């Protein structure tokens, strides 16, 4: 079947019940989204489908035909980072980094839906994503900063 | 005319028509419609062959009969046949020279056609392009003389007689179905000698390796036919809640495209009346079929379940990360899908910082349609009747969310 990932329509050969996460990582080489719990409890696998944050470890590709999937790789490049990536670099929000791609895309979904999201909104939205090495404060700061960058504040 | 039936002897020959025959245009047009109603092409045109020049193999339990050349070619077709000979062939199954015709040619039906209709058919056939093409020899080992005996037992001649118990439309339908349409040739079972069993008329028969389904109360159609559905089916080859035409019937419907809407309506009306089950029985059969269809549709939801839910819910709570096997879920057996929609969309999330049962939110992951499929599937697992308007409930809740 065909999947639209980061603006490219790609043919994938995996079984329809295969979780998107495996297809992203194993078939498409997009390694930003991580396998954490496989149960939708940690958020490390979070990606965007039509602008909504979804757990890619729980989402069979069969339900994604014709929908726009985005991962951190689609938010910018190392050379030309997007505002979310820029903010996370600026705030040095990653420690081990395992949860960061999930945090970034979930914050991205919020800011696209609500460009003037407050810090409280951000904390509420990021609630499903866990970080266990303790950079929560930096992550929240980075998301707030990303909002500023998106609103054109330098 | 009918006296010749008693013996096995062939009939007298009829002299060829003296002069080439011409016909009024309206008569030819009427004949064209009737020829299509009778699907003459089906047997009298070989694949890739000239129209009505014959050569189509018709497999029978007795051997292969080849459709004959009925173009007006004088040497190899029926050119020179006068109307009298054509009428005799249609009504008694005898060719111009007096030979019996095999009943693969359904004269047991055509015998019911009126003089006017036979004359119209004749006008149409005699104005086709003459094609010189020799008839192929049949492989039926039964001598033609035996056919006299067969006819004496199984051929009931006589034009269709209207049934005063029914109105004109029904009678028109009966006339076409029993006569030129020869529907029973396929839809009625035959006995060992190849004759239709009149005591089980329209109880289902055979056609070119296909089963021609019963049209009477034994109809296997999951949703019983109505005159309206049959009308659409015969007109277009496909009707709501019914399978599309296939095999020999597809060809019949193709031919019926040339018939008038009034005739199709009449045929539909008559055929629907063959199903003599009570309205209550028919309604029950329809409802049960629709219920089964809903369950089958729910199988689409199974694909969603297998991908999104099975990992936890097939494990059971005894295992780490496992969740309740869903047929045990109360939200599935309630009279409304509302709770299940809420749970799947929003998950089960304990208050901030507290412990509690937990399930991820699937909002955003599943489209409204996918959620609808999933809900129908889960409901089917419980064995309870399907929820009504699941899609509407999903829409209501997802709209309220935006």
Is the Cβ pair B365, A128 closer than 8 Å?
no
pLDDT at B18: 78
Q: Give DSSP secondary structure letters for B213-233.
A: ---STT---SSPP-HHHHHHH
CA distance B240 to chain A (A): 27
Span between the terminal Cα atoms of chain A, in Å: 42
Phi, psi of B326 (to 5 degrees): -65, -25
Residue B231 near residue B22, CB atoms below 8 Å: no
- Say how far apart CA B63 and CA B69 lie, in whole Å: 19
Query: Does A68 contact chain B (CB < 8 Å)?
Result: no
- In the block, residue with structure tokens 């020959």: B13
What is the tally of structural domains in chain A?
2
Is the Cβ pair B308, A127 closer than 8 Å?
no
The pLDDT-based confidence of A154 (bands split at 50, 70, 90) is low
Minimal Cα distance from B362: which residue of A? A54
- In the block, residue with structure tokens 């001649």: B157
Same-domain status, A62 and A92: no
CA distance A154 to chain B (A): 31
pLDDT at B7: 43
CB count within 10 Å of CB B142 equals 14
Spell out which residues of chain A touch residue B306, defining contact as CB-CB under 8 Å: 17, 60
A63: nearest CB among B312, B363, B370? B370
Mean pLDDT of chain B: 91
CB count within 10 Å of CB B400 equals 7
- Say how far apart CA A86 and CA A108 lie, in whole Å: 12
pLDDT at B1: 40
List alpha helices for B257-367, DSSP H: 261-274, 279-308, 310-313, 330-333, 338-346
- Say how far apart CA B93 and CA B149 lie, in whole Å: 13
Q: Which residues contact A41 (CB under 8 A, 6 or more apart)?
A: A130, B358, B360
Is the Cβ pair A63, B307 closer than 8 Å?
yes
Is the Cβ pair A17, B362 closer than 8 Å?
no
- Say how far apart CA B37 and CA B57 lie, in whole Å: 21
Minimal Cα distance from B367: which residue of A? A63
Residue B29 has, within 13 A of its CA and on its CB side, a CA count of 4
B307: nearest CB among A19, A49, A128? A19
Per-residue DSSP letter, A26: I
- Say how far apart CA B157 and CA A12 lie, in whole Å: 67
Same-domain status, A9 and A49: yes
pLDDT at B339: 94
Structure tokens at B387: 């929820």
Q: Is the pLDDT of residue B225 over 60?
A: yes
Spell out which residues of chain B touch residue A54, defining contact as CB-CB under 8 Å: 364-365
- In the block, residue with structure tokens 């245009």: B25
What separation in angstroms does the CA of A100 have from each of A41, A136, B29, B308? 15, 10, 79, 24
Spell out which residues of chain B touch residue A129, defining contact as CB-CB under 8 Å: none
Same-domain status, A143 and A87: yes
Fold classification of B284-401 (topology level): Cytochrome Bc1 Complex; Chain D, domain 2 (1.10.760)
Spell out which residues of chain B touch residue A43, defining contact as CB-CB under 8 Å: none
- Tell me the angle at which helices A136-150 and A83-90 cross, rounded to the nearest 10 degrees: 140
Is the Cβ pair B360, A128 closer than 8 Å?
yes
The pLDDT-based confidence of B8 (bands split at 50, 70, 90) is very low
The pLDDT-based confidence of B402 (bands split at 50, 70, 90) is very low
Domain stop point among A46, A74, A102: A74
Residue B206 near residue B221, CB atoms below 8 Å: no
Average pLDDT of the residues in A26-42:
94
Mean pLDDT of chain A: 95
pLDDT at B293: 78
Query: Is beta strand B57-60 parallel, antiparallel or unpaired with respect to A68-70?
Result: unpaired
Residue B289 or A138, more confident: A138
Minimal Cα distance from B360: which residue of A? A40
Phi, psi of A55 (to 5 degrees): -80, 110
Q: How do the domains of chain B map onto residue ranges? A: 1-159, 161-277, 284-401
CA distance A142 to chain B (A): 22
Per-residue DSSP letter, A5: E
CA B299 to chain centre: 27
CATH number, domain containing residue A34? 3.10.20.30
Is the Cβ pair A63, B362 closer than 8 Å?
no
A49: nearest CB among B311, B321, B365? B365
List A residues 6-45 in contact with B (Cβ-Cβ < 8 A).
16-19, 37-41
CB count within 10 Å of CB B360 equals 24
Q: Can you give the residue range of the structural domain that contains A80?
A: 76-150
Is the Cβ pair A38, B360 closer than 8 Å?
no
CATH number, domain containing residue A133? 1.10.150.120
What would the pLDDT profile of B113-145 be if each residue is shown by its tens digit?
999 999 999 999 999 999 999 999 999 998 988
Is the Cβ pair A60, B311 closer than 8 Å?
no
What would the pLDDT profile of B345-385 be if each residue is shown by its tens digit?
999 888 877 888 889 999 889 999 999 999 999 998 888 88
Same-domain status, A59 and A124: no
**Mutation target among A21, A51, A63, A124 for the B interface, most CBs of B within 10 A:** A63
CA distance A131 to chain B (A): 14
Same-domain status, A90 and A106: yes
What would the pLDDT profile of B164-183 be if each residue is shown by its tens digit?
999 999 999 999 999 999 99
CA distance B370 to chain A (A): 7
Is the Cβ pair A52, B304 closer than 8 Å?
no
Same-domain status, A23 and A36: yes
Q: Which residues contact A15 (CB under 8 A, 6 or more apart)?
A: none
List A residues 92-121 in contact with B (Cβ-Cβ < 8 A).
none
What separation in angstroms does the CA of A81 have from each of A72, A76, A149, B319? 10, 4, 12, 43
Residue B348 near residue B276, CB atoms below 8 Å: no
Query: Is beta strand A2-5 parallel, antiparallel or unpaired with respect to A68-70?
Result: parallel
**Mutation target among A39, A114, A136 for the B interface, most CBs of B within 10 A:** A39
Spell out which residues of chain B touch residue A55, defining contact as CB-CB under 8 Å: 360, 365
What separation in angstroms does the CA of B200 have from each of A110, B48, B221, B276? 70, 36, 18, 13
Q: Cα-Cα-Cα-Cα dihedral of A79, A84, A90, A94, to 10°?
A: -100
- Say how far apart CA A106 and CA A115 lie, in whole Å: 13
Same-domain status, A146 and A80: yes
List A residues 118-147 in contact with B (Cβ-Cβ < 8 A).
127-128
CA distance B174 to chain A (A): 51
Instruction: Report which of B206, B202, B210 is spatially closest to residue B247, judged by C-alpha positions.
Output: B210
Is the Cβ pair B358, A18 closer than 8 Å?
no
Same-domain status, A63 and A83: no
Same-domain status, A81 and A145: yes
Domain stop point among A59, A74, A89: A74
Is the Cβ pair A60, B366 closer than 8 Å?
no
Max alpha carbon distance in chain A (Å)? 45
The partner residues of B63 in beta bridges, in order of sequence, read B60
Average pLDDT of the residues in B262-282:
97
Phi, psi of B60 (to 5 degrees): -125, 165
pLDDT at B291: 82
pLDDT at B19: 76
pLDDT at B294: 74
- Tell me the angle at which helices B338-346 and B390-401 cross, rounded to the nearest 10 degrees: 50
pLDDT at A69: 98
Instruction: Report which of A97, A132, A113, A5 is spatially closest to residue A142, judged by C-alpha positions.
Output: A97
CA distance A91 to chain B (A): 26
Structure tokens at A81: 């980072």
A62: nearest CB among B303, B360, B361? B303
Is the Cβ pair A60, B306 closer than 8 Å?
yes
Instruction: Report which of B281, B282, B274, B277 is spatially closest to residue B216, judged by C-alpha positions.
Output: B274
Domain stop point among A74, A97, A113: A74
Structure tokens at B324: 């309740």
Lowest mean pLDDT among B82-91, B106-115, B296-305: B296-305
| Edge-to-edge strand ranges of the sheet holding A52-55 | A8-11, A2-5, A68-70, A46-49, A52-55
């Amino acid at each position: 079947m065909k999947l639209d990932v980061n603006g490219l329509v790609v043919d994938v050969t995996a079984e329809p019940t295969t979780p998107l996460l495996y297809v992203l990582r194993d078939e498409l080489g997009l390694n930003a989204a991580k396998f954490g719990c496989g149960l939708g409890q940690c958020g490390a696998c979070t990606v965007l489908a039509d602008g909504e944050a979804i757990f890619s470890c729980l989402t069979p590709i069969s339900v994604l035909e014709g929908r726009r999937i985005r991962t951190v790789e689609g938010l910018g490049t190392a050379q030309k980072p997007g505002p979310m990536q820029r903010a996370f670099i600026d705030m040095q929000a990653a420690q081990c980094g395992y949860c960061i791609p999930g945090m970034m895309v979930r914050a991205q979904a919020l800011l696209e839906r609500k460009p003037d999201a407050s810090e409280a909104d951000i904390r509420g939205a990021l609630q499903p994503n866990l970080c266990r090495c303790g950079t929560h404060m930096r992550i929240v700061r980075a998301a707030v900063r990303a909002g500023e960058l998106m609103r054109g504040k330098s | 005319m009918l006296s010749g039936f008693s013996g096995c002897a062939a009939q007298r020959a009829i002299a060829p028509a003296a002069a080439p025959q011409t016909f009024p245009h309206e008569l030819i047009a009427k004949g064209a419609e009737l020829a299509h109603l009778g699907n003459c092409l089906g047997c009298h045109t070989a694949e890739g062959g000239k129209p009505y020049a014959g050569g189509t193999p018709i497999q029978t339990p007795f051997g292969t009969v080849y459709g004959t050349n009925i173009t007006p070619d004088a040497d190899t077709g029926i050119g020179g046949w006068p109307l009298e000979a054509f009428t005799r062939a249609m009504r008694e199954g005898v060719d111009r020279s007096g030979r019996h015709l095999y009943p693969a040619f359904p004269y047991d039906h055509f015998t019911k056609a009126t003089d006017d209709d036979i004359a119209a058919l004749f006008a149409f056939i005699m104005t086709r392009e003459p094609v010189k093409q020799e008839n192929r020899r049949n492989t039926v080992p039964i001598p033609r003389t035996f056919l006299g005996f067969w006819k004496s037992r199984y051929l009931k001649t006589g034009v269709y007689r209207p049934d005063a118990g029914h109105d004109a439309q029904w009678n028109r339908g009966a006339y076409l179905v029993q006569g030129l349409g020869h529907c029973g040739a396929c839809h009625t079972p035959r006995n060992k000698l190849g004759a239709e069993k009149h005591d089980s008329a329209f109880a289902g028969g055979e056609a070119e390796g296909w089963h021609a389904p019963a049209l009477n109360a034994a109809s296997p159609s999951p949703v019983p036919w109505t005159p309206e559905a049959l009308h659409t089916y015969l007109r277009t080859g496909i009707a709501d809640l019914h399978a599309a035409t296939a095999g020999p019937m597809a060809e019949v419907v193709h031919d019926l495209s040339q018939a008038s809407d009034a005739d199709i309506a009449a045929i539909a009306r008559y055929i629907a009346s063959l199903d003599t089950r009570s309205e209550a029985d028919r309604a029950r059969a329809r409802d049960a079929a629709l219920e089964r269809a809903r369950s089958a549709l729910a199988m689409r939801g199974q694909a969603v379940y297998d991908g999104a839910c099975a990992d936890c819910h097939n494990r059971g709570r005894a295992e780490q990360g496992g969740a309740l096997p869903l047929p045990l879920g109360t939200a599935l057996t309630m009279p409304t899908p509302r709770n299940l929609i809420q749970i799947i969309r929003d998950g089960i999330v304990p208050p901030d910082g507290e412990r509690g049962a937990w399930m991820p939110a699937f909002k955003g992951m599943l489209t409204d349609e996918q959620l609808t499929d999933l809900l129908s599937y889960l409901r089917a697992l419980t064995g309870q009747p399907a929820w009504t308007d699941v899609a509407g409930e999903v829409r209501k809740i997802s709209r309220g969310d935006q």
